Structure formats: C-alpha cells, structure tokens
Amino acid sequence: MNRKYIFLFLVMALMTLIAGYAAYQWGMQQEMDMSSSSSESMAGNAKTTEDPSSWGIAEGEKATRRHIDAGIKAGDIDPVTGQKILFYQDPMVPGNKFETPGKSPYMDMMLVPVYKGSAGGESATDEPGVSINSRLQQNIGIRTALVTKQDIATQVTAVGAIAWNEREEVNVQARALGYVEKLFVKATLEQVNKGQPLLAIYVPDWVAVQEEFLALNNMQGEGLDELIAASIARMRQVGMSEAQIRQVKSTGRLQTQLIITAPIDGVITELVAREGMTISTGSTLMRINGLDPVWANAEVPESQIALLNPGDPITASSPAFPGKQFKGQIQRLLPEVNPITRTLKARVVLDNPQGELAPGMFVNMQLAGKQINDALMVPTEALIRTGKRTLIMLALDNGSFRPVEVITGRVTDDKTQIQQGLQEGERVVVSGQFLVDSEASLRGVEARLSDDNTSKVDDHSMSEMTMETHQTEAQIEAINGQILTLTHPDIPSLEWPGMTMDFELSSSFNPDELTVGEQIEIAFRLEKGAAPLIVELQPRSADLEMVMESHQTQAKIEAIDGQILTLTHPDIPSLNWPGMTMDFELSSSLDPDGLKVGEQIAIEFRLEKGSAPKIIDLQPLSAETEMEGAK
C-alpha cells in the first residue's frame, strides 16, 4: 500500500517538473520574440532617421541619384532621412544652390543635397551653420566668449628725438659797416641769457652821427630842437638801436664801442664773428636758439595716424631723467612718410623750463588719441584672418556654428573692436574655431555680414554676377542637345582651374553646326541654378589650337617668384625649342610652397597667348630619373 502511494507521489512530482520546464521554455521563447521585434522596430526607426550630417560626398551623390529616380526635389521630405531638402549644391563649388538634383555644371560629379537642420543646411531658426555634438566640442577644446561693449581710450606710444625749436631761433646781424673790437662769447653751444653782452663793435658811421648829435645837443639857441630830432633820426637810420641811442643821450659822451646783447635766453648755435674782423651791413654775426620749449619728432606708425590730431596732449620721458615727465602737445603732423620704417613724423612741442632736454636726446612719448565709446569688442584670438577678409565663428543658440565676416577696428590689449558684423550679447568661438571653419568650408556654409541688409546685398551681387560675361577657349568633348561638355583652361576672372564641365548653348546657336573635338572660343555668363550660358561662340584659329596642346619636359628650378618659376630645360622637340633658361607660370591649382631652388622636376605645360607658358602638371624627379635625364 505504501509503495503504491510512493509511486503516485513520484509520478505527480515528475509531471509537475515537466509542466514547469515547459512553462519556462515558453516564457523564454516569448521574450526572444519580443526582443527580435523590438530590434527590428529600432532598426526600422534608425533607418528612417538616418543623419545626413555624417555623410561624405559619396553618400551625398548616392542620395542625389536616389532622388532622381524617385522624382524628389528641393522642398520635399527625404523618406530615408525624414528631413526637408533645402537645395542641392556642388560640394567643391558650394556658392550656388540648385532646386533639382542632377549633375554639377562645374565638376564631373553629382550635386549633393543639403537638409534643413543638418550641418551646412538651416537650423530651426533658418540660420545656416555647422552642427557639432557636445562631446566632440569638448574633445577639440571649443571655447566661446560673449561680444561685449566697452569704451576704448586709444593711446599711441612712440619714440622720438629732441630737436631745435626753429620758431625760437634768432639771428644777430650787423646793421652797418664796422669792426668787431671785442667778443664776449667765443664758442658755439654756450648758453646765454637775455641781455647778456655778446660782442663790442666799432662803426665809423655811428661815431659820425653821434658827434653830430652831441654837437647840436651842446649848442644854445632857438630852433635846435628840429635839428636834434633829425640827428636822432639819422642815428636810427644808420642802424643804432633805441637802447644805444638812449645811452648816448644819457651819458652825453661819444660811444665809440657799442655793445650788442643777447635778445633771448638760449644757446649759441652758430658763431661767425671773430675779434678784429670787418663786418658788413646785413651779415650774420651769430645765431641763438631758445631751449624752452623744444621740439620732439615722434615716429608714429602710419596705421595709427588717424588716432592723432594737432593739439592732443602728450607725456614724454627720457632715460637721462628717470621718473621725470615732460608735458607738451602735438603741434603738427608732418606730411611725409618714411618709406623704410613706414612711419610719419609728428612734431611735438615739449616744455623745458630748466633746459634739461637737449637736441639729440631720445624720449619715449605717450600720445593720447581719440576715445571710442561703446565699442563692440571680442577677444583677438577669435579672429580668423584669410588675407582677403576676416571671419569669426558665431555660436548659435541651437548649438551649431556659422562663419560671419566682420570688419575690425582698433586693437587694445587682447581684444579687437568689431565695426560691423556682430551684435552685443552674441557668442563667438575663441578656441577650436579653425576646425569649425574647415568643416563649414567643406559643408558650403557661406560667411556673411550679420546685418538686416545682407540678403538684399547678396541677391543684388548675384544678379550682377549673372550679367557679367567671361571668356575662355575650350574643346568640345560631347554634345547633348543644347548642352555642351567642354574642357577649358584656367579662367582667372572666376578663379576657376582648368576642368571639364557642362555649358548650355543660347537658343540663338545651332548645336548641329558643332563637332566633337572642335576647338572654340566662348563668352558665357553664370546662370543661377543652371549651367553657365554660352552667349557668344566662334571657332578658334590654328594658332590658338596650338596653345591648347600640352608639352612635356624635365627642368631644373633656378628661381621661384610667386607663381613664376625660372627653369632650365633641355631641347623640346615638339616645339623645336633648344635647351634654355626661361620663365614658366604655375597653374593656380599648383602650390609653389613645396618647391625649392635647384630641384629637378618633370612638367607638363601649354603655351599661353601673350604670357609665359603655363605649367598644368608638375612632379618631382627621383634620383634615378635625374641620372637617366643627365645621361
């Protein structure tokens, strides 16, 4: 009986275990199905929310081909990204925008789409910019700073030399024929005080008129006053001063020696008179120059001249008198620039009551310039100078960045004034901005001046550009209706390198009259959103066809002057040229910075009408190739 119960108990326990295991397996299967379904759902969502900001050019071209097949254009929503397509552009020439997908009119490649909210597209506020996630910003060390307003007290620092004040110069001259009997000052650069005797002279004519005056003055009788007055007038006429005449009248004696005194305080800068020498009327005896005030010629950089005005106060110091300052003001900005130092002289008048400053001394001057109130200031390190313009990377509220072209003003300490392009309170990038600018260039985000009239100016500039015509020579590679595929050389007016691209024929031209391989001359203008339009076309002469033909040679670099290379080359049989040294011009697509004088190179060039032959390809020669060329 007990065995029967035990057996039943074991059977029930076994069935319970089997049921529990089955339930466990069913639960695991359900969980796996749910995970698989969730993964598929997430994959589907990821597929529909693909971020185009991570695309390269290849992915962009692939998307454009997909849009062509699906009939999608600008303004539509891309089903793969779920984002609105703003426009299409050539990533190598990002200036123009196109409404429909297709092949680039500039390069042998497809256009790529630009989406709203993506890098290079528009944000939620319709501002173009470059989006960089916060982690990457931290990794590349992006820092920002606010645009602030502050007053700028501009100050110009200059050095200069003390000079004689020419307005304090006095000439001591002889007023009559005579002789120098005694000289009290016998060397130049001696200091004299006003009224100090300088020299004693004997003038025969003065003695005669004095004798006449004394004789009349000692006579008694009526009617002598008029004679005495006439005698005094004759003393004045022969050159005697009022002080000398008073001396004769007061003493009543003949003054055979007349003393000439210093008219001002100063220094004898020129001494001509010597004891015993004969002096003639009008001859210079000596020159005296005052020392209070003195002149200082400040050397001011020409870029800072606009900060200064005549009458501005200045403070000067000299190493000869440490701690002492001399006050003065700018008298005049002299109209002459030193061609070597590019400085302009500012004539400064300095007070020198003690006569401490002497001509030739160097002084350091602080010239107070104009003060600018409420100037917009940014850290100087935020500026990106390209040579043609100055850019700043502006940090937008949505976390993206866009380049802004600015016009700079004064520089003070570590900040620079912004005259146009920014507003107070905006935030600019001060570290890592070159990486952001490179990304913006690749994405085709254009820099612009941040003002309300920007879009109007850009539209006007674009309309002017489309009306301007450009000329080039070209070879026809293909004809497809009114579309010509042409190979053209560099076009300097557009800064285009030589390339193969599509042009559209004007309706006045018949493409049936053209043949593939034909050399032509064209005049064209750029069309917004379309291929360049050919408005003039004519076949080229045989001479011009020869210009397009390229030739190859090896050469040695003798000199480098910008894009001009002076090369020594061997005979060139294709042109019947003997070996010689001559100038070649580098194509704009080639950089001369990597070249050096004496280097052996292999070049491909073509003749240019009216200019030096143009190098269109260049390769350095290896040592083995150089040896073979030498053989």
Note if the pTM is more than 0.85: no
SS (H, E, C) 283-331: CEEEEEECCCCEEEEEEEEHHHHHHCCCCCEEEEECCCCCCCEEEEEEE
The distance from CA 444 to its chain's CA centroid, rounded to whole angstroms, is 24
Task: Give the number of residues written for the chain.
Answer: 631
What is the rounded CA–CA span in Å between residue 435 and residue 227?
Answer: 101
Domains identified in the chain and CATH numbers: 57-115 (no CATH), 139-151+374-452 (2.40.420.20), 470-539 (2.40.50.320), 550-620 (2.40.50.320)
Checking if the pLDDT of 630 tops 50, the result is no
Residue that has been written with the tokens 């020669």 in this structure: 621
Among 77-81, 203-207, 338-342, 622-626, the range scoring the smallest mean pLDDT is 622-626
pLDDT in tens, 476-523: 999 988 889 989 888 888 778 788 888 888 877 888 888 888 888 888
pLDDT in tens, 28-48: 665 555 544 444 444 444 445
Interhelix angle 204-218/224-237, rounded to 10 degrees, is 170
pLDDT in tens, 127-164: 556 666 666 667 677 888 899 888 877 778 888 899 98
What is the rounded CA–CA span in Å between residue 90 and residue 111?
Answer: 5
Specify the higher pLDDT residue, 115 or 388. Answer: 115
pLDDT in tens, 211-241: 888 888 888 777 788 888 888 888 888 777 7
- Alpha helices (H) along 468-613: 542-548
How many other C-beta atoms are found inside a 10 Å radius of the C-beta of residue 281?
A: 14
